[in-house]
Chain A
Amino acid sequence: DVVMTQSPLSLPVTLGQPASISCRSSQTLVYSDGNTYLFWFHQRPGQSPRRLIYTVSNRDSGVPDRFSGSGSDTDFTLRISRVEAEDVGVYYCMQTTHWPYTFGQGTKVEIK
């Protein structure tokens, strides 16, 4: 199985400051069709996950532009340009390039 490793696992941030989460995969996530099926989700306490980013860098509808995704091959990053209070929660990366689909362990973002 493809192992997805996130870091850090805990991220205390100051409101208005940037934040960055890394996600590394144990195999390349480039699929045979040329796409890279790496996604980012945000989960607030007691809520379902919400997709933020699809195929590495595409923001979902309604996702603020302070969120951005980047990376390639096995190394990916989610950035928040200026953290707001509503951004707290756990962020997960996920790959669907390889069977079975796998998630990272999650990164908990909290306000300092």
Chain B
Amino acid sequence: QVQLVQSGAEVKKPGASVKVSCKASGYTFTSYDINWVRQATGQGLEWMGWMNPNSGNTGYAQKFQGRVTMTRNTSISTAYMELSSLRSEDTAVYYCARRSPYGMDVWGQGTTVTVSS
């Protein structure tokens, strides 16, 4: 079945970087964009950006421009989201989601990133 499996929880210090992976299976990885969404504890959903796994093209929300990088490795059907210069406000669950022509239809299980000194 179609699924996205994300990497495990991370604990980082302020100023560090984190790289979250999202492995796709059950479909052709290069046929659908991957989007990233985050959710701080007890808060709503916040869209971060997208990546086209075929071309590698990306688009980031302005809030994250300069700090986020979305990449992929097509040989292992895996997308990555790296966030740098971490601060406490970046503590959140990070989700990857497949974007079909009609929106985000498949989501990963989420990766908890905790930023703490």
Residues of A with Cβ closer than 8 Å to B? 37, 39, 41, 43, 48-51, 54-55, 58, 60, 90, 92, 94, 96, 99-106
B44 touches A92 (CB 8 A): yes
B: number of interface residues (CB 8 Å): 19
Residues of B with Cβ closer than 8 Å to A? 35, 37, 44-47, 59, 61-62, 95, 99, 102-105, 107-110
Number of A-B residue pairs having CB atoms within 8 Å of each other in the complex: 50
* A49-B45 contact in complex given A100-B61, A100-B62, C-beta closer than 8 Å: yes
Q: Which of A37, A48, A94, A101 contacts B107 (CB 8 A)?
A: A48
B105 touches A106 (CB 8 A): no
Q: Which of A54, A58, A92 has the most CB of B within 10 A?
A: A54
When distances are taken between beta carbons in the complex, the residues of chain B under 8 Å from A58 are 102
Min CB–CB distance B8 → chain A (angstroms): 15
A92 touches B45 (CB 8 A): yes
Q: Which of B35, B44, B61 contacts A105 (CB 8 A)?
A: B44
* A55-B103 contact in complex given A48-B109, A49-B45, A103-B46, C-beta closer than 8 Å: yes
In the complex, A1→B112 CA distance in Å?
27
When distances are taken between beta carbons in the complex, the residues of chain B under 8 Å from A101 are 35, 47
